[in-house]
């Protein structure tokens, strides 16, 4: 009994709460990406992963409904530039950010049904640099000490970013993909006192997303370069 209590205490508070919220609200979802990877491979959340990854079908529930559900539990919607991005993020003090990823279904050249989540990323290194400077006061990525030196110019770079976004010159689409069949059957799994939802074929799913060596932890993982499943669209 003592080990069970200790195990429950270690889980991220926002992870525990969002799992229970979705269960209470009868929302269909599955754990995906890094959260699923940690649960299956490490039997815990990955320490250097800073968010909770949840997947939903874009036609199963609206973003507005998820916003209502989460806001009612005092989660704060994170401001973003793009409503057309397939991800919405919530924050709450004490735990990790919570990402809801709305997957759509595409048909590839082999006429196979593919699940794809559309995220927006800077088109090139210049756009990436502008994006960092446009958020210099809260930037926490590479070269953050240098970026913060230029925080005084943040309003200027923010205007440049918005100008380029409006002219479709700043972002391109990219995101994880996988065969729809890998998530056609979702099962309940016990995890640290919770009942979580995961793909039944989670090992095949993780292999598709992260490659044959998905079982080996990789701290400096880059989802754009390292994932064999990433699709880019201009």
Tens of pLDDT along the chain (234 residues)? 333 334 444 789 999 999 999 999 999 999 999 999 999 999 999 999 989 999 999 989 999 999 999 999 999 998 876 656 899 999 999 999 999 999 999 998 888 999 999 999 999 999 999 999 998 887 777 777 888 888 899 999 999 999 998 898 999 999 999 999 999 999 999 999 999 999 999 999 999 999 999 999 998 888 989 999 999 876
Closest Cα partner for 117 from 139, 88, 92, 96? 88
Question: Quick check: 178 and 117 in contact, CB under 8 A?
Answer: no
Spatial neighbors of 57 by CB under 8 A, at least 6 apart, are 28, 102, 103, 105
Question: Quick check: 116 and 126 in contact, CB under 8 A?
Answer: no
Looking at residue 81, what is its pLDDT? 66
Q: What CATH number did the domain enclosing 9 receive? A: 3.30.460
Looking at residue 8, what is its pLDDT? 46
Same domain assignment for residues 154 and 229: no
Looking at residue 148, what is its pLDDT? 84
Number of domains observed in the structure of the chain = 2
- Pairing relationship of beta strands 87-91 and 76-77 according to DSSP bridges: antiparallel
Q: What distance in Å separates the CA atoms of residue 231 and residue 108, rounded to the nearest whole number? A: 11
Same domain assignment for residues 56 and 132: no
Residue where a domain stops, chosen among 132, 153, 169? 169
Domain interval for residue 157? 124-169
Q: What distance in Å separates the CA atoms of residue 131 and residue 125, rounded to the nearest whole number? A: 10
Same domain assignment for residues 116 and 200: yes
Same domain assignment for residues 113 and 28: yes
Same domain assignment for residues 154 and 216: no
């Amino acid at each position: 009994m003592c080990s069970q209590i200790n195990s429950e205490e270690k889980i991220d508070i926002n992870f525990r709460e969002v799992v229970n919220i979705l269960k209470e609200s009868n929302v269909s979802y599955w754990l995906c990406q890094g959260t699923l990877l940690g649960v299956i491979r490490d039997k815990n959340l990955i320490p250097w992963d800073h968010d909770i990854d949840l997947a939903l079908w874009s036609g199963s529930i609206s973003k507005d409904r998820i916003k209502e559900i989460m806001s009612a539990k005092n989660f704060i919607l994170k401001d973003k530039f793009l409503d057309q991005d397939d991800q919405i993020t919530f924050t709450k003090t004490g735990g990790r950010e919570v990402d809801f990823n709305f997957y759509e279904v595409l048909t590839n050249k082999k006429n196979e049904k593919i699940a794809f989540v559309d995220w927006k990323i800077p088109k090139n290194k210049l756009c990436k640099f502008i994006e960092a400077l446009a958020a210099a006061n809260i930037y926490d990525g590479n070269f953050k000490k240098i970026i913060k030196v230029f925080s005084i110019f943040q309003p200027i770079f923010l205007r440049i970013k918005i100008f380029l976004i409006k002219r479709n010159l700043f972002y391109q689409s990219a995101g994880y993909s996988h065969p729809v069949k890998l998530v056609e059957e979702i099962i309940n799994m016990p995890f640290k006192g919770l009942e979580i939802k995961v793909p039944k074929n989670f090992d095949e799913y993780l292999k598709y997303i992260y490659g044959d060596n998905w079982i080996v932890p990789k701290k400096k993982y880059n989802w754009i370069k390292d994932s064999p499943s990433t699709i880019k669209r201009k």
